[in-house]
Amino acid sequence: QAVADSVAARIGIDEVRAQVLPADKAVAVRSFQAGGAKVAMVGDGVNDAPALAQADVGIAIGAGTDVAVESAGIVLVRDDPRDVVGAIELSRASYRKMVQNLVWATGYNALAIPVAAGLLAPIGFVLPMSLGAVAMSASTLIVAANAQLLRGLWLRP
């Protein structure tokens, strides 16, 4: 219970149930979901598989059984439940990075496509095709470089 409470406090989870009997795990997940909650389940055994499959996010401890690992959406490589914190932080950072890249690409294309199509031709500016191709490639490189910044993310143990 102490590890579950510690992990929950670090990632902002409101309610935690730990040390639940095997038969009650999937029931507990369904009861949270019935209340409108998004549910993450962490487990490592055969008896965790139904709850891992039922949960919105199933997280299996990597050293667990094959059934648990196959039922989960996320598999932690190390046998440390505190790695759940790192997995959540990585998923949040990835989502933020995805939104940044979508905003950049949308804004860039909203400006660049009309210019490349000749919107400014009436005032004498025509974008050369070679410059348009370079600008398109530069936009792709910016998105890729921004995504690579995730490699520098430090995940607390």
Q: What is the residue extent of each domain of the chain? A: 2-79, 85-152
Q: Mind listing the pLDDT tens digit for each residue in 69-113?
A: 888 999 998 888 778 888 888 999 999 999 999 999 999 999 999
Instruction: Count the helix, strand and coil residues of the chain and give each as a percent rounded to the nearest 5.
Output: 65, 10, 30
Second CATH level (architecture) for the domain 2-79: 3-Layer(aba) Sandwich (3.40)
Predicted structure pTM score: 0.76
- C-alpha gyration radius of the chain: 23
